[in-house]
Amino acid sequence: MRYGTAVFTAFLVISAGLHLASPEPAGSQTQIGIFAPGERLQYKVKWLFFRLGTIVVTTERLPDTVGKYLATIILDSNPDLFFISIHNRYEAVVNVEPVRCDLLRAMEVDGSDTLVTGYVFVDSLKRIYMHQRLLPADSLIRTEVRDIVNRFFDGASLFFFARTMIHHDSTIAVPTLVEFDMFQTHMTFTRIPVLASIGALDDPIETLEVSGRAEFEGKTFGGFSGDFKGWFSNDHAAVPIRAEMSITLGTVDVELEQWSRPGWTPPIINEDQ
């Protein structure tokens, strides 16, 4: 897994709070209003004074379906940096009730080649079909099947499920699919409001914090240590605002810099009042 994918995976795991030990109230996800067609969130990825790249997350309702959305995540490295070149795209069909990934297609560019990874979940069989192909040669690199799976999370599905659960007070372990393998991600949520600042706003945002550790340490290029923290807006939208993680280079920061979501503005706190 390349450096940019490590940052991407870590950021999404930070967004992955799954309270799997207890049943979810019927309709809880949609009542919160997390899924908003037309939503676009843009994040900058920083290390020290360097901007490593940009992450863009968009959401659209999937036509001719009930309760399914197409989530697209685009990761591009900073073209001014010579030591990384990342241009990746992740497209997921996310089911709302319950929140899960039904299908994922990841496209990761490496020079003139593109590695395409696909996951397809078949609920009736409790099975995930997984494959990797290399383009433009269209050569099959890997294919596997995993059985006895109630649902799986990675990428965009983690991003959205966390947002539905951020207002819970809990410590949890999350089954996370990374590079064809399942791992546990441990995290702790509190409902204590915390102020978080970003460069795009003069005033701080009221957020809720998650902290934890991912067991897939060593599976990501760049040396993601497994420790992380994340902050979500303390409102109905639960938008991820900031994240911090440790990699070989040091601490990487992921910060919301642009947003477009119908009817939403960050819940800022005016400290002068």
Q: List, for residues 179-222, the tens digit of each pLDDT value.
A: 888 887 777 888 889 999 999 999 999 999 988 877 765 555 44
- 271 phi and psi, to 5 degrees? -75, -10
Q: What mean pLDDT is predicted for residues 7-30? A: 43
Six token digits for residue 38? 């037309």
Range of the domain at 40: 3-260
Q: Domain for residue 269, yes or no?
A: no
Q: What is the bridge-based pairing of β-strands 127-135 and 139-147? A: antiparallel
* Residue carrying the six token digits 């920083």: 46
- Please tell me the pTM assigned to this model: 0.85
Q: What is residue 65's three-state secondary structure?
A: coil
Q: Domain for residue 267, yes or no?
A: no
- Per-residue pLDDT, 6: 52
Q: What is residue 64's three-state secondary structure?
A: coil
pLDDT tens, position by position, 133-190? 999 999 999 999 999 888 877 767 777 877 887 898 888 877 778 888 888 777 788 8
Could you tell me if 247 and 223 are in contact, meaning their C-beta atoms sit under 8 angstroms apart? yes
CA–CA dist 151, 133 (Å, integer): 24
Q: Domain for residue 110, yes or no?
A: yes
Q: Domain for residue 268, yes or no?
A: no
Q: Domain for residue 140, yes or no?
A: yes
Could you tell me if 221 and 3 are in contact, meaning their C-beta atoms sit under 8 angstroms apart? yes
Six token digits for residue 7? 């940052």
Could you tell me if 21 and 172 are in contact, meaning their C-beta atoms sit under 8 angstroms apart? yes
* Residue 33 Ramachandran class (φ > 0 left, ψ -120 to 50 alpha, else beta): left
Q: Domain for residue 273, yes or no?
A: no
Amino acid, single-letter form, for residue 146: R
Q: Domain for residue 265, yes or no?
A: no
In the chain, the number of structural domains is 1
- Per-residue pLDDT, 155: 65
Number of CB atoms found within 10 A of residue 125's CB: 12
pLDDT tens, position by position, 57-87? 999 999 988 889 999 999 999 999 888 888 9
- Per-residue pLDDT, 27: 41
Q: Domain for residue 272, yes or no?
A: no
